[in-house]
Chains A and B, each alone.
Chain A
Amino acid sequence: MTMAAAADDLLVVDDLTLEFGGIRALSNVSLRARRGAVTAIIGPNGAGKTSLLNVISGFYRPRAGRVLYDGVDLLARPGYARAGLGIARTFQNIALFRGMSVLENVKLGAHAELRAGLFAAALYLGPARREERALTARIDGEVIDFLRLAAFRDREIVGLPFGVQKQVELARSLAAAPKLLLLDEPFAGMNATEKQAMADDIRRTVDARGTTVVMIDHDMKTLMALTERVVVLNFGEVIAEGTPAEVQADPRVVEAYIGVPEAEEAPA
Chain B
Amino acid sequence: MISTIVELSLVGIASGSIYALGAMGFVLIYKASGVFNFAMGEMMMIGAYFLYTGMVIFGLPLAAALPLALIASAATAAGIERFLLRPLLGQPHEVLIKVLFGTGAMLRGLAGLVWGQDIVRLPEILPRKPVFLGPFLIPGTLAWGMLAMFVVFGGFMLYYRFSRTGVAIRATAEDQSTAEAMGIDIRGIFSFTWIVAGILATAAGIVGASVNGLSPYLGNFALEVIAVVLLAGLTSIGGTMVAGIIVGVMLTLLGYFLGGAWQQFMPYLLVLLVMLVRPRGLYGTKLVERL
How many angstroms from the CA of A114 to the CA of B165 in the assembled complex?
Answer: 11
User: Do A121 and B184 contact each other (CB < 8 Å), given the known contacts A59-B177, A91-B178, A97-B170?
Assistant: no
How many angstroms from the CA of A100 to the CA of B170 in the assembled complex?
Answer: 9
List, in ascending order, chain B residues with CB within 8 A of A114's CB.
Answer: 164
Q: Is the CB of B170 within 8 A of A121?
A: no
Tell me whether B87 is interfacial, beta carbon within 8 Å: no
In this complex, which of A84, A91, A107, A121 has the most chain B Cβ atoms within 10 angstroms of its Cβ?
A121
How many angstroms from the CA of A108 to the CA of B173 in the assembled complex?
Answer: 14
Partner of A83, one of B163, B167, B182: B182
Q: Is the CB of A108 within 8 A of B182?
A: yes
Q: Is the CB of A57 within 8 A of B174?
A: no
Q: Is the CB of B159 within 8 A of A80?
A: no
A33-90 contacts to B (CB < 8 Å): 57-59, 78-84, 88-89
How many angstroms from the CA of A78 to the CA of B181 in the assembled complex?
Answer: 10
Residues 131-149 of chain B, each 1 if its beta carbon lies under 8 Å from chain A, else 0: 0000000000000000000
Tell me whether B183 is interfacial, beta carbon within 8 Å: yes
Q: Is the CB of B182 within 8 A of A109?
A: yes
Q: Closest B-chain residue to A131, C-beta based?
A: B164
Quote the shortest CB–CB distance from B198 to chain A (angstroms): 14
Partner of B174, one of A79, A84, A97, A122: A97
Tell me whether B192 is interfacial, beta carbon within 8 Å: yes
Residues 91-117 of chain A, each 1 if its beta carbon lies under 8 Å from chain B, else 0: 100010111100010011101101010
List, in ascending order, chain B residues with CB within 8 A of A122's CB.
Answer: 159, 163, 165-166, 192
B48-73 contacts to A (CB < 8 Å): none
How many angstroms from the CA of A58 to the CA of B164 in the assembled complex?
Answer: 24
Interface size for B (C-beta < 8 A) is 25
Q: Is the CB of A80 within 8 A of B184?
A: yes
Tell me whether A128 is interfacial, beta carbon within 8 Å: yes
User: Do A82 and B171 contact each other (CB < 8 Å), given the known contacts A118-B165, A121-B163, A128-B164?
Assistant: no
How many angstroms from the CA of A124 to the CA of B185 in the assembled complex?
Answer: 19
Q: Closest A-chain residue to B189, C-beta based?
A: A118
In this complex, which of B175, B181, B184, B188 has the most chain A Cβ atoms within 10 angstroms of its Cβ?
B181
Q: Is the CB of A107 within 8 A of B180?
A: no
Listed in ascending order, the chain A residues whose CB lies under 8 Å from chain B are 57-59, 78-84, 88-89, 91, 95, 97-100, 104, 107-109, 111-112, 114, 116, 118-119, 121-124, 128, 132, 172, 176
CB-CB nearest 5 A-B residue pairs:
A83-B183, A112-B183, A121-B164, A124-B163, A122-B165
13 contacts between A and B (CB under 8 A): A58-B180, A89-B181, A91-B181, A95-B175, A97-B178, A100-B171, A108-B167, A108-B184, A111-B171, A121-B163, A121-B165, A124-B163, A124-B164
A82-B183, A111-B168, A111-B183 given; name 18 further pairs at CB < 8 Å. A80-B183, A80-B185, A81-B183, A97-B170, A99-B174, A100-B170, A100-B171, A107-B167, A108-B167, A111-B167, A111-B184, A118-B165, A118-B192, A122-B163, A122-B165, A122-B166, A122-B192, A123-B159
